[in-house]
Chains A and B, each alone.
Chain A
Amino acid sequence: MKKFTFKIGGVHPNDSKISAEAAIEPLKISPKIYISMAQHLGAPANPVVAVGDEVRTGQIIGEPSAFMSCYVHSSVTGKVVSVGPYKDIAGREAIHVGIDVSPDGDVWADGIITDNSLDVKFPTDRQTLLDKIKACGIVGLGGATFPTHVKLCPPPGSVAECLIINGAECEPYLTSDYRLMVERPEEVLTGVAIIKCILGCRAVVGIEENKPKAIESMKKALESLSEKNSEFNDIDILTLKKKYPQGGEKQLIAAVLGREVASGALPISVGAVVQNVGTALAVYEAVQKNKPLIDNTITVTGQVSPSQKNYLTRVGTPYKDIIAAAGGLPDGNIKVISGGPMMGRAVSNLDATTLKGTGAVLMLSEEQTKRKPAQACISCGRCVDACPMGLEPFYLLRLSRAGMMDALEENAVQDCIECGCCLYSCPSSIALLDEIRLAKASVMKIIKSRPRK
């Protein structure tokens, strides 16, 4: 069987999927929940509740403030105790709604169907589906938390040819998407069929070869579903070679369609729309059960972690509660990462709470994370070979140290996807990405400040 992958760059870190066999279990709801209004790419939502309000599970507590923004819903039933700044994982303040959870359990907002029965018949009217997705505050769960309703409305003049569902989960350690594909393939596939119906194109689910169980369960579910329903006809399951960062949007398009997205262009320019497996499930729940995005699967893992878990977690759960449920923080200096080891963000504040897009809580020991002292660049070019965007990381680093913004733009620093392959492959342990990321931010700022033609 032919296995697909992207051509340029990439690395092969040990996949360390040690939590792969842990079934998804719901995490006990924390007594106090803080829900951020900045859960998505774009403008933060405007809170629409006040201190003292009683809220029900699934009730809207934040409304979109711009085109590129999303609804935010209460993930619990209880009383609003604070609306204001609260520190996020980086220790920066963002507007959060704090809710004291009612001890009596969930009272769901009107219209939400809470039974877990499978429902594969969905309305086919595009606008109805899009409205439901928007109202349920669905965002891309692959990491960037791009508002899904915006992504599913291609700009005029562009046509979607293929919906690519990202089941690569190429980051080491992460297993939440894998568990979803193993445990809830029918629901995921119904979500895929719904998105496919909105776009009016075929769909491909790309799964890496190190997840044979997921491939098998998805294929089986697809077979049984497509026998009875025509909506599932042009969905394919594709086995991908294992290679990081295959889950990157542009890499996945290259792997599945063999097309390259031009610098600065959107995936739709080559006829592709990429959505994550988790997003497909969220779309299914939104359309079929009217359930907003209030919970997501979070992997708790790491060699030093007391247990390996895949928790169904309510949005706004403090990190410390998740870690406590998994057995507490191990002794010694532990690096807690929100997300995977390659692209995740370090959690410097355990009081911070999870967001819609949080995929994992990874615990690493000091030995695992300590960097070696950087040595001189020996011009070996490994970072150039590893860069999946075809950039020259060593050169970008030099330019950024010299502050040459114009040259950085010419060398497409803005195309960097911050995957960390350069840093991973450097034999001199040079922290290339640290400064390239900074240079990228500066260049992006300059590009955005230019008057639009």
Chain B
Amino acid sequence: MSVIVWTIIVIASLAVILAAMLFFISKKFKVEEDPRIDVVEKLMPGANCGGCGFAGCHAFAEAAVRAEDLESIFCPVGGVATMKNVAEALGKKAVEKAPQVAVVRCNGCKEVREKTTIYGGTAKCSVIAALYAGDTGCGYGCLGCGDCVGACEFGALSMNAQTGLPEVDEAKCTSCGKCVKACPKGVIELRNKGPRSMRVFVSCINRDKGAVARKACKNACIGCGKCAKVCTHDAITVENNVAYIDFSKCKLCKKCVSECPTGAIHALNFPAPKPVATAPTPAASPASKPETETKPVEEAKQ
């Protein structure tokens, strides 16, 4: 009997002593953390994707609290709304930044871009890019193994088996930029989403001379410069045989779209002249529609 009593006494006193020790240690070595960090972290999307450039949402919150202004830090996933909340909570000025979306700048689908070699190695874009320019005549375009799809944590990217190109689900894309980093060819770019998701872009980055690019891919930008001439907003530049549309200058007039002889300029989500479609079409596969004139109609949204 006395054994049990003694055991209880010893264990109980041990518990009291250790509890007291823990109490004093926790007081003595308490880490003072700014309570605002927790507040800000609760406002974050909590994806811990690293799209902001910090290790995760907690690291972002720390940086946001420490920063003097929020100019240089931005959560692409939460976007302007989240940043506004964060700014309010911290009493700082919010940054206005247009929402962005990932854009695949290659329209060399399987039919128009012939394979010139057979690749039999590991099916990863990064491995192919380390070995050679790619299995088609175009050394710049999409390699089609879907490294970007694997990198996306939001399920916004998928490979279209028919075209062999990745497609972006605009509703899911948070513009975290992981796919941009994952693509060894730099095909994917983050571009401003545009009003009602309407945007115009050159869906090609082939820097070869026109004839070479055209031979490799019928949908390639041949750098002819017609789009730049027709553009009245000075938004288009042709450098290294490829046109680029500056989304901050583009006024969405679509003049360049019909001017492009190869259909490399895509206009997405523009309303059709006569709105018939009611269901929103996802970012339609641009490459499957080589007819430039009809593209805006086909890709109409609502």
Partners in one complex: yes
Is the beta-carbon distance between B133 and A434 smaller than 8 angstroms?
no
For the complex, what is the distance from the CA of A90 to the CA of B117, rounded to whole Å? Answer: 11
A453: Cβ under 8 A from any B Cβ: no
User: B125 → chain A, closest Cβ, in Å?
Assistant: 11
Output the nearest chain B residue to A89 by Cβ-Cβ distance: B132
Chain A residues near B126 (CB-CB < 8 A): 438
Judge whether B134 and A371 touch: CB under 8 Å. Answer: no
Which residues of A lie under 8 Å from residue B121 when comparing CB positions?
371, 431, 434
Residues of B within 8 A of A91 (CB): 132-134, 139
Whether A437 is near chain B, meaning CB under 8 Å from some CB there, is yes
> Which A200-222 residues sit within 8 Å CB-CB of chain B?
none
Question: Which chain A positions have C-beta within 8 A of B131?
Answer: 90, 345-346
Q: Chain A interface residue count: which class?
A: 20 to 34
B120 within 8 A of A: yes
C-alpha spacing A385/B122, complex, angstroms: 23
Which chain A positions have C-beta within 8 A of B116?
A: 348
Question: Is A370 at the interface (CB under 8 A from chain B)?
Answer: yes
Residues of chain B at interface, number, CB under 8 A? 16
**Bound form: Cα–Cα A90–B130 in Å:** 10
- Is the Cβ of B118 less than 8 Å from the Cβ of A434? no
Roughly how many angstroms separate A366 CA and B121 CA in the complex, as a whole number?
13
Of A90, A93, A370, A441, most buried by chain B (CB within 10 Å of CB) is A90
> Does B132 contact A431, Cβ atoms closer than 8 Å?
no
Complex Cα–Cα for A91 and B115 (A): 13
Q: How far is the CB of A447 from chain B (nearest CB, A)?
A: 17
The distance from the CB of A295 to the nearest CB of chain B, in whole angstroms, is 26
B124 located at the interface, meaning its Cβ lies under 8 Å from any Cβ of chain A in the complex: yes
Measured between alpha carbons, how far is A345 from B121 in the docked complex, in Å? 13
A-contacting residues, B46-66, CB 8 Å: none
Query: Contact string, B127-139, partner A, CB cutoff 8 A, digits 1/0?
Result: 1001111110001
Asked whether, in the complex, the Cβ of A348 is within 8 Å of the Cβ of B117, the reply is: yes
Bound: A441/B116 CA distance, A: 27
Given A91-B133, A348-B117, check contact A434 B139 (CB 8 Å).
no
Q: Bound complex: CA of A369 vs CA of B124, how far in Å?
A: 19
Judging by beta carbons under 8 Å apart, are B132 and A92 in contact? yes
Chain B interfacial positions (CB closer than 8 Å to A): 116-118, 120-122, 124, 126-127, 130-135, 139
Q: What 10 pairs between A and B have smallest CB-CB spacing? A: A91-B133, A90-B132, A434-B122, A91-B139, A431-B122, A434-B127, A348-B132, A348-B117, A371-B120, A434-B121
